[in-house]
Amino acid sequence: MTSTLDPSSAPSTAREPRKTGFRILRRRQNEALPLFFARIALPLLLMLLIIVFSLAAPDTFATVDNLKTVLNLQAVLTILAIGLLLPLIVGELDLSVAANLGLGLILVTGLTSQQGMPAVPAMITAIAACTAVGLINGLLVSKVGINSFIVTIGMSTILTGLIGAYTLGNVFYENIPEELTGLGQGNLLGIPLPVVVAAAIGLIVWYILSQTPAGRFLYAIGGSRDAARLSGIAVPRFTIGAFAGAGALAGIAGVIQAGILGSGSPTVGPPCCFLPMPQFSWAPPRSSRVLLTCGAPSSPS
């Protein structure tokens, strides 16, 4: 007894995996396009605004002096945003960076104007204190297991209270050393020093994140904490390091802000709390879920 096979069945079977592969590829391309446009939307909008204002006011807006002023005003916020990026990469959120900036500013101005400490030791002390705040945040999140949103909101409240208790609502403006004001108001080859510092920090952080194993480990933790742990990555240690880095950068931003202002006010810091979160839309998936929890509580996945 013999049986015959339908010749048309073999080609259709062979074409099926190919069709499936094309469908998967097409679906991935369709999913990638909105993500690509979401990433470039803000830079395109910024370029459009620059072009519009340059055409509308070429004598005042499109000038080198105005560019220096704008960059100088955004240098501190840039450093603070880079610091906030580090916890975001590992899937956490540090809402105390603004208050930590205020702590660094008050410490460096208070130690120099009230206690008579030299400028350089005061700067180092302020940055070290802000780094210690970041370490505490990291320990509470990674070792104790408290949610980073709760930890950093609480830390922000504590720091705001400490700043108010230390300053008693006063502004430190007397006996500010020239070394401090020179850092915030000086120039290097015609470029404001805060811009130079922000650019240097950006390059250093970019190199660490993209060219070193530590940076790859941070991204791995943000992508999947369990997978990173199973791969042998010390998840708690790198999480603590991310928070400590955020604290250190907040301290540097506070010192530079003190130099720009030439004084120390207890109200500086909290206005920086609401950073433009869309600029972090390219962060790992876990980071995106963390950002969503800032707006409204969500059910656990």
What tens digit of pLDDT does each residue of 167-217 get? 888 888 888 888 888 888 888 888 889 999 999 999 999 999 999 999 999
Distance CA 4, CA 143 (A): 69
Residue 202 Cα to chain centre, angstroms: 10
Question: Does an H or E element contain 10, and which?
Answer: helix 9-56
Cβ atoms 175, 118 nearer than 8 A? no
- Which pLDDT tens digit goes with each residue over 10-28? 555 545 555 555 565 566 5
Predicted confidence at residue 11, as pLDDT, reads 52
pLDDT in tens, 203-238: 999 999 999 999 999 999 988 888 988 888 888 999
Reduce the DSSP state of residue 192 to 3 states and report it: strand
Token pair listed for 190? 């015609």
> What confidence category does residue 273 fall into, taking pLDDT thresholds of 50, 70 and 90?
low
| Spatial distance between the Cα atoms of 181 and 186, rounded to a whole number of angstroms | 8
Comparing 95-99, 132-136, 236-240, 283-287, the range with the smallest average pLDDT is 283-287
- Give me the DSSP letters along 220-252: HHHH-HHHHHHTT--HHHHHHHHHHHHHHHHHH
Between 37 and 149, the higher pLDDT residue? 149
pTM of the shown model: 0.76
Hey, how many other C-beta atoms are within 10 angstroms of the C-beta on 234? 14
